[in-house]
Structure 1
Amino acid sequence: MKVISRLATAGVFAVSTALTGAVAFAADYTLTISSWAPPTHGINAKMWPTFTKMVEDATDGRVTADLKLGIAPPPAQFDLVQDGAADLSIIFHGYQPGRFVTAKMIELPGYEGSAEAASVAYWRAYEKYLKQADEHRGVKLIALHTHGPAQLHTHEKVTQLDQINGLKLRVPGGVGSDVGAALGATGIQVPAPKVYETLASKAADGVVMPMESRKGFKLTEVAENVYEMPGGFYRGSFAFIMNEDAFKNLPEDIQQALEEKVFGEPLSRAIGQVWDEIDQEGRQATMDAGNNSINEASDADRAAYQPVADEVTASVIEEVSKTGVDAQAARDFIAETMKNYGK
C-alpha cells in the first residue's frame, strides 16, 4: 500500500479509525488527518467519516484516510499541514487573529438560514470575492463551512441582553470576539477543547458557541443555561485544508476525481449538513438534561441587539475592504444566497 502520510506515530497520542471498514484495507493511498476536537465530537464522529466516504466513493476506493487526534493544538493545525506533518486538517479561522480577515464575512450576525446554506454560500462567495485575498496560501483549500448560530451558554441564568455587560466570557476570536466586546463582556480566548475546564474552574462566566457544544463539549454539565438570540450572535468560520504536495503526489485521474466530486462546494455542503445535525443533537441533549434551560431573547432584546449587529457588520466590512475585497458585495451575496438556498 502506498501511504502519503509522513506522520510519525511514536510518542504521539492519537486515535486512528478505520472510517469506512474494509475499503481502507484495499486503498492505494492513505491520507493522514490531524484533528483537534474530542473523539466523540461531530467533527470526528461525523464530518471526517463523511469526507472519507466521499473520497473513497469518488476514487473507487483507491484513496482513504486515517484520523489522528491530539497531534497539536487547534491554532497549530495550519502550519502542521503546510509543513507536511499531516495531510489534512480542519482549522477555525478565529484562532489566529489577523491571519484570515476575509473569513469574518461569513461570521457576521444577521444571516438567516442553516449551516448547510451558510456553508454553500461561503464557498460561492469565496470563489466570487474572497479568493483574491489568498489567505490560505501555502495549503490547498478543499472546503469552507460554518457552525450554526452561536448562543450564550452560562452557569447563572441570563434572560436579558443587558445582563451580558460585565460578564467574563470565553470568545473564539473573529466576529465572536467583536460581538462580545460590543456587548460589554470581558473576553477570554481559549480553544474549544479547553472550554469545559474553563467553565468548571469558574475562570469564565460563560461561553458563546453553537448548540452542538451542549453535547460535543459537554456544556450541559457546566453551563446549564442558554440565552438564545434568534439567528445567533455570530457564526464561526472553518476550513478543511490539505498539504499541497500530498495532493500533487496523487495520480492525475485521482486529482481530477477529487476536484470534480469532493472538493469545494460538494464537501462544504456535506459538512454544513452535518453541523445542522449536531446542532439538533446539542439542543436535544439540553432538553434531556433535566436541569438545563433555553431562554429565548425577547422582542425588546432582539431590537436592542440590532444596532450592535449593525455596528459590528460595518466595522468588519471596513476591515475586509482593506484587503482589496468588495466586502459589501460579498456580504450581500452571502445573505441573498442563503435566503434563496433550496428554493
Structure 2
Amino acid sequence: MFLRSIKLAAVSVAIASSTSVLQAKELIFNNFFPPSHFIHGVMNEWISDVAEATDGRVTFIVPAGTLAPPPQQLSAVKSGIADVAMTANIFIQKQVPVLSYSSLPFLVSNAEAASVANWRTYEKFLANKAPLKKYGVEMLSVFNYSGGNLYGLEDKPIETIEELKSKRLWALPGYTANNIKNIGVSPVTGPAVKVSEVVSKGVVDAFYGISYESVTDFKASPYTKNIVQFPFAGTSTSFSLFINKRTWSKISEEDQMLIKQLSGEALSRKVGKAAANASLVALTAMELSGIKVIPGSQDLYQGLQHAAKPLFTDFVKKADKIGVNGNEMLNFFKSENAKETNNLSE
C-alpha cells in the first residue's frame, strides 16, 4: 500500500510537470517606443488576441518604460530581461545583415505592401536559415514602417547633391547613413527616438531617413521647415519581432501554433497598415503647420540612387555567404512589394 502511494505521488508529479506548459504564463513584452507611438496600439491588440486565442494561457505585461535602450532589444530578450521584443533591423545589421533587405534605399513607397512583401521574402529565403537562432530567439514576424525622406531645418529646401554635401546631416544608422557617406558626407547618427536632441540644438541642417510619424512623435517637427519627397523612400525601417527561445519552448505546441497564426503575415499587414495611416496623419499635420512639402529634384534623387548601388552589391555578397541568392531575394521582394502596392491602389 505504501509503495502504491509513492507510485501515485510520482505519477502526480510527472503529470503536473508535463502539463505545466499549459498553465498561464505572463510574459514580459518590452516596447521601447513612447506610449503615443502607433505601434503600441497594434501590439496591444496582438497581445489581447494571443491571450484570447490561448484562453489566457499566454498573457503579457508591458513595462511602463523600456527595459533596455533601442539598440539592445535582441540582447535583452536573449538574456531573459524580456521575453518578447522587437528591434529595428538596422540595430543588428552587423550581426545579421540579411534581415535588412527591405530597408535598402529606394525600394518602398507603401508600408503595408512592404511589410507583407518583407514577411513573404523572409519565409521563402530566410526562415529555414533561422538567422536569429544563434541569438537564442524565435522569430515571430517582420514588418516595415513608412519610408523616410529628407527633412530640412533651413528655409531653402535642398535641391542638389552638391547642396546636400555642404550640409551638416543627421541620418538613421545603417543603409541610410551609409548612403550619405557614399556621397562624401559623414553624418551624425543615432536612434530615431533621439533625433530631437540633435535637431533642437542646431547641430545639423537637415535629417534623413525617418518616417513622418517619427518626425512628429519624436518631437522633431517644430524645427522642420521643409520635406523633400522621393518617388521611393530613402529607406523604410524594417523590424523583427521575436521571443526568447527558452520561453517559447515552454509554451505548448497548440499555443505556439495559435501565436504563429496571429503573427507572421497577419501581423505584418496590421503593422504596415497602421504605419501607413500614422504616416499620412503626421504628414497632413505637418503640412497644416506650415511645413513645405516638395518633390525631390532629379539631380538629388539620381545622385542618391547612384550612391546606393554599392549597398546593394554588398548586401548580395553577404547573402551569398549564407547560401542565399541575394539578387533573387531582392527581386522577389520587389515583385511582391509591387504586387501588393497595386492591390492596395485598386
Which range, TM-score by smaller chain?
A: 0.7 to 0.9
**AA matched with 1:294:** V
TM-aligned CA deviation for residue 278 of structure 1? 1.4
Task: State percent identity of aligned pairs.
Answer: 25
State yes or no: 1:217 paired with 2:206: no
| Equivalent position of 1:110 in the other structure | 106
Contact preservation (8 Å) 1:167, 1:186: no
| Distance of 1:171 and 1:58 partners within structure 2 | 41
Aligned-residue offset at 1:76: 1.2
Offset at residue 126 of structure 1 (A): 1.1
Aligned-partner SS, 1:147? strand
In the TM superposition, what are the counterparts of 1:291-306 in structure 2 within 5 Å?
Answer: 292-306=291-305
Cα 1:96–1:250 shift into 2, 3 Å:
closer
Describe the SS at the equivalent of 1:159.
coil
Distance 2:34 2:225 in 1: 20
Per the TM alignment, residue 132 of structure 1 is displaced from its structure 2 partner at its CA by: 4.8
1:168-226 deviation digits (Å, cap 9, x = unpaired): 32222221122111233322221122111111122333322111112221221122321
Residue 5 of structure 1: aligned partner: none
1:47-126 mapped onto 2 (5 Å cutoff): 47-68=42-63, 69-126=65-122
Cα distance, 1:187–1:122 mapped onto 2, change above 3 Å? same
Task: Confirm whether residue 315 of structure 1 aligns to residue 314 of structure 2.
Answer: yes
CA-to-partner distance for each residue in 1:149-182, whole Å, 9 max, x for gaps? 1111231142313222133322222211221112
How far the C-alpha of 1:308 sits from its partner, in A, is 3.0
**Secondary structure class of the residue paired with 1:111:** coil
Q: CA deviation at 1:243?
A: 1.1
Are 2:28 and 2:60, in contact at CA under 8 Å, matched by a contact in 1? yes
Partner of 1:189: 189
What is the CA distance between 1:300 and its match in structure 2?
4.6
What is the CA RMSD across the aligned residues, in angstroms? 2.2
The CA distance in 2 between the partners of 1:166 and 1:300, in whole Å, is: 15
> Structure 1's 271 and 134: CA in aligned 2 closer, same or farther, altered over 3 A?
same
The residue type paired with residue 71 of structure 1 is L
Change (3 A) 1:195 1:28: same
Trace 1:6-45 onto structure 2 (pairs within 5 A).
28-44=24-40
Q: Please state how far the C-alpha of 1:333 moved relative to its aligned partner.
A: 0.1
In structure 2, what is the equivalent of residue 20 of structure 1?
A: none
What is the rounded CA distance, in whole Å, between the counterparts of 1:168 and 1:245 in structure 2? 45
User: 3-state DSSP class of the match of 2:86?
Assistant: strand
Match status 1:143 vs 2:144:
no
1:33 alignment partner AA: F
Return the letter of the residue paired with 2:58. Answer: V
How far, CA to CA, are the matches of 2:190 and 2:300 in structure 1?
A: 28
For residues 50 and 166 of structure 2, the distance between their equivalents in structure 1, rounded to whole angstroms, comes to 47
What's the offset of the Cα at 1:122? 1.1
Unaligned runs of 5+ in 2: 1-22
Residues 227-266 of structure 1 aligned to structure 2 (within 5 Å): 227-259=228-260, 261-266=261-266
More moved, 141-150 vs 166-175: 166-175
Which runs of structure 2 are paired with 1:155-170 in the superposition (5 Å)? 155-156=153-154, 157-162=156-161, 163-170=163-170
Higher helix share: 2
Larger Rg over CA atoms: 2
For residues 160 and 68 of structure 2, the distance between their equivalents in structure 1, rounded to whole angstroms, comes to 37
Question: Which residue of 1 is the match for residue 180 of structure 2?
Answer: 180
| Counterparts of 1:330 and 1:83, CA distance in 2 | 31
Pick closer, same or farther for the CA change 1:268–1:179 going to 2, 3 Å: same
For the residues of structure 2 that align with 1:225 and 1:113, how far apart are their CA atoms?
Answer: 19
Work out the CA distance in 1 between the residues paired with 2:86 and 2:170. 21
Report the Cα distance in structure 1 between the residues aligned to 2:186 and 2:168, rounded to whole angstroms.
5
SS in 2 for 1:236: strand
The offset of 1:97, in angstroms, is 4.1
Q: CA deviation at 1:311?
A: 4.1
Count of equivalent residues = 314
- SS of the aligned residue for 1:129 comes to helix
Does the residue aligned with 2:62 lie in a helix, a strand or coil?
A: strand
- Asked if the contact 2:148–2:211 (Cα under 8 Å) also holds between the matched residues in 1, the reply is yes
Q: AA paired with 2:44?
A: P
Taking a change above 3 Å as real, the CA distance of residues 189 and 110 of structure 1, as seen in their structure-2 partners, is closer
Deviation at 1:51, TM superposition (A): 1.9
1:113 deviates by 4.2
Distance (whole Å) between structure 2 residues aligned to residue 288 and residue 65 of structure 1: 39
C-alpha contact 1:140 1:242 (8 A) present in aligned 2: yes
Task: State the distance in 1 between where 2:146 and 2:119 align.
Answer: 16
Aligned to 1:287: 287
**Which residue of 2 is the match for residue 335 of structure 1?**
334
Amino acid at match of 1:130: L
